[in-house]
Structure 1
Amino acid sequence: MAHASGKSAGRSSFGKWAVHIAALLFVIVWTIPTLGILVTSLRDKDQIVGSGWWASFFSSTQVQQVRLAGPDKQVEKDGKFVIEGNVFENPGGTQVSAFGARAQEPTKFEVGTVADLGDGETLQINADGSYVQSSIKKFEGSRGQRVYFSSTVPPRFTTENYGNVLTSEGVGRSFLNSLTVTIPATIIPIMIAAFAAYALAWMRFPGRALLIAVIIGLLVVPLQMALIPLLEMYNGVGNLFGVPSKTYLGIWLAHTGFGLPFAIYLLRSYIAGLPREIMESARIDGASDFEIFMKIVLPLSFPVLASFAIFQFLWVWNDLLVAMVFLGTGANELVLTGKLNALLGSRGGDWDILTTSAFITIILPLIVFFSLQRYFVRGLLAGSVKGG
């Protein structure tokens, strides 16, 4: 018996460690991309193109091309024509390590070397970026010599990317629009679902089982399939009563409709698992169903309410499709996701704007999640394993 007990304890300890390691791996897998977005959004625009975010904390070597000053800057010294300048627009910090005059050999000459370019022309580029170009003949043409050089660039972080995005016209308005949509669209389905879940869990009435089956069936209905019929129905009712089609009321009702099946299913599973003795004692004391719901069920159901609030807030905040259909795409109606999408336009390669916009959109959801996260797992697990 002792031997069997020891083996069981060993298996239990191994299983506990396996769960902890798996959870840690999931945390790492999800955290690394978020860290990459944050670091990239704070990097200099030119460095984003040159290297990955993981290399942003170390100096990097980059090959660049630049045109030297034109012939109009030449001066005559000791019988030669000389052009002087610096390959860096803002010298300081960055060091040149090698240079060349051809794209095929961008690092042919060591820094400080006087390179022979042919026809009596020489070029010397120093580590600080200063250069001296000389020729026995007068420089001609309208543009300067194109040269290539490799440079050691120190890491540079800046908040300029956030300034560019946040100060763009309409971003502040779209942020308020997102809040106006998200907060009511989170609270309304919770209020309706809580009453419905209590009725389906503890009240007996005809058609109760059919309603539960319909709710479970609605969980698998794709949003895209129901979106257009729902919009046509809403517009029809709006035309009948003279209500404009593009209003906040419409998008609140849409998000409520899409969120209710999951909310009722989750809350009913949790509420059905509450101790029956508490409900019976309250009824013996003369409490009505409404009093039981308000004074007993709601306080005990706060963890599952918080869990659903996180889900619904994240879904509505990150939504673009429903907002564009029910609210519109005008300058005063765009939500934050729509405005940032419009800000990007066709500039899909501007990683500074992409990463900064992405991180701006997740700041508020992260605040909401960490504020309610202590209820999240408890409410979600209880709602999934309790009840019938």
Structure 2
Amino acid sequence: MTQKSTRGHVLCVVGARPNFMKIAPIMRAFSAAAVPVPSRLVHTGQHYDAAMKASFFTQLRIPEPDLDLGVGSGSHAVQTAEIMKRFEPELDANPPRAVLVVGDVNSTIACSLVAVKKGIPVIHVEAGLRSGDRAMPEEINRILTDQLSDLLFTTEQDAAANLQREGIDAGKIHFVGNVMIDSLLQNLSLAIPAEHTFERFGAPPAAEEPFGLVTLHRPSNVDDPAVLEALLGTLCDIGRDMPLVFPMHPRTRNNIERFGLDKQLADSGICVTGPLSYLEMLGVMQRSSLVLTDSGGLQEETTALGIPCLTLRHSTERPITVTEGTNTIVGTSAERILTAYRDFRQTGGKAGRIPSLWDGRAAERIAANISDWLVAGT
């Protein structure tokens, strides 16, 4: 009997920190599939912190990329254009059967554009998420990537309705679950205990003391001095009632210093740390009682872990974390944030349930589907 073969490789793309947690389980599932899916990995270098990149690849057990484009920072236009210029030669030198992209960063849309113009199918993991806010660059990346894609894998059932409203054939759409949760569940037992991380920084919460975890990095929150000052003031008010741990994004730190807001954090009950590795962040998040964030990934992870989350944005592309999970959208006004915080202190926070197919096996379903799709196309 002839061994089934996919006859060609899938070129997987990662570019920024959120991509790493999504690609890791997919690469493992490709190797373990009934008909293994040959793959190559390209890192665009959109996330340009070499030390953090190395820690993520090591901790998540991602194979070293076959190619690192080393793009680095820049405006959206410059970064997207540079990725396209450096990605095209890889497609010419090693033509793949398909290009797989994840999430909604600039690397996602840039590599999809290059691939589709060369007649190479595009596979989008985490398709169909919509916030309805086109002022967010990620929303534009999501919409355009989905329009270019031949296979669209969704994390929640409502995403299919979004895609079909935009004219995408239902036959291309596959509800598989959430690969971010695959990584979360695979790494819970490996998480670095929060106490070990706190030892590296001053004034951490006392043992067993309730604390909140804060992350801020969205340009809409940290690039406008008035918005950032107001958010910091609100966080300081909360920090005086319950300790907060704030792993500070480099962009946020630079803007706080540039706008002269660093004194605002003094004597506030906020423990500021540098960026944390994935396993460090996971350990701190597990120990936290509340998360205040503008991160999409943390909205999903807190829902999976049952931790109340206050999202410091006016909308979310992950509405299932609100309708079924532990997430509450509070925007950026002090009144709404503090009202939600007081409710948390009184009630223990919003309870939720784990959404359908957030079971740690999304990558297996993706790999099986792609394997069958490639075999059928040989």
Q: Shorter-normalised TM-score: what interval?
A: under 0.3
Q: Which structure would you say has the larger Rg?
A: 1
Considering fraction of residues, name the structure with more helix: 1
